Copies of this chain bind each other. A is one copy, B any other.
Amino acid sequence: MPQASVDRRFHSPQLEAFVARALAAVGLPQSDAGQIAQLMIRADLRGADGHGIFRLPQYVRRIRAGGMNVTPNIRIARETEATAVVDGDNAMGHLALRFAARVAMEKAARAGIGWIGVRNSNHAGPAALYAMMPLEKNMVGIYLAVGNANHMPPWGGVELLLSTNPIAVAIPALEEQPIVLDMATSVAAYGKVKTKLLRGEPMPEGWMVDALGKPLTDPKRAADGFLLPIGDYKGYGLALVFGLLAGTLNGAAFGRDVIDFNKDDTTPTNTGQVIVALDVARFSPVDAFKRSVDRVIREMKDSKKMSGVERIRVPGEQSHATFVERSAAGVPINATLLKDLERLASELGIEGLS
């Protein structure tokens, strides 16, 4: 997205209030609107710019087109001591996942683990948001999702049957920040392609290929090609099994069923996700475990660097640094997005951002 120099900074309470106003204006109950706003802006604070307030115009468009349910009855459709299927009733994904994460933690507190599948959900923002929820209870969090648009073929194919189905894993530490892995199973997430397009920059080789398997580096030609999975057939395998676990197993869409939410605002997406909470105390004494995680983190970070490398990071470190910086200095909003948000405000007849 545009240069930092032209970005304006907004503090998170201001952004949250704006998002909540917009969602309330299209019919969401005040408290739901507030909770979604908080999660969306948390995405921005952590640097997941493609998953936060940037999505608001699209969400509003979808809600107004009748594609999402603003007064859903999110409920447990099936459950055992340690598992459940949550039916999101076509709610915004943030609400369905927040509900599911709570169920996961309650079950984990009793049974050691809660594995919750979600169906009839929607896009919920960055995977890390939900994987991190169990951390406060000294639990490990795992999140899997079927992405909301297919951008990958099976390995060797050219038809777009797979999304960049992500995984997030959050593991608590003691003095160090928690490990928070959040990754697409493609080399680049599709949002990165959009960013290159906005910036007018070519993509590096390895992100996409065309239907002949040739490297595709011009982001304007993105529709002629597809994203490459990490590790070739391995990333394809991960996208496939994550999709079966997050989608098919819960009665949610996967494969050809997936609705491209960029092109279709009205058909329910029946998005599927999984959230797992695993209670550390049932495996190891909590402090001893967290101390061991600290040790592993330090082992990695303090180990010998390859020549030319400034620092070794652990997953989540960069996002945490961004969170700290943006919590203090505000979230940068670029001029294009700001204009979109102001237009949205005037359409909805709500108070704008600036």
Contact = CB atoms under 8 A, between A and B. Distances in A.
Interface of A: 78-83, 85, 110-113, 115, 117, 140, 153-159, 161, 169, 171, 179, 181, 183, 187, 211-213, 230-231, 233-235, 237-238, 240-241, 243-245, 248-251, 254-256, 278-280, 282-284, 289, 292-293, 295-296, 299-301, 303-309, 311-315
A314 B255 CA distance: 13
Contacts of A155: 312-313
A157 B113 contact: no
A30 to B, nearest CB: 34
A81 B112 contact: yes
Contacts of A161: 299-300, 303
A306 B128 CA distance: 34
Contact of A237 (B80, B301, B315): B315
A248 B158 contact: no
A296 B81 CA distance: 30
B110 A113 contact: no
21 contacts: A81-B111, A82-B112, A83-B279, A83-B282, A113-B113, A157-B312, A158-B303, A183-B238, A212-B307, A213-B306, A240-B314, A243-B296, A244-B296, A248-B284, A249-B278, A249-B283, A251-B283, A251-B284, A254-B296, A255-B296, A255-B299
Contacts of A300: 154, 157, 161, 240, 255
A128 B143 CA distance: 22
Contacts of A307: 211-213
A113 B83 contact: yes
B282 A240 contact: no
A201 B134 CA distance: 48
A140 B245 contact: yes
Contacts of A171: 241, 244-245
Nearest to A299: B255
A190 to B, nearest CB: 15
B78 A283 contact: yes
Contact of A305 (B79, B83, B156, B169): B156
Given A80-B111, A289-B249, A156 B309 contact: yes
Contacts of A158: 303-306
Nearest to A236: B315
Nearest to A318: B233
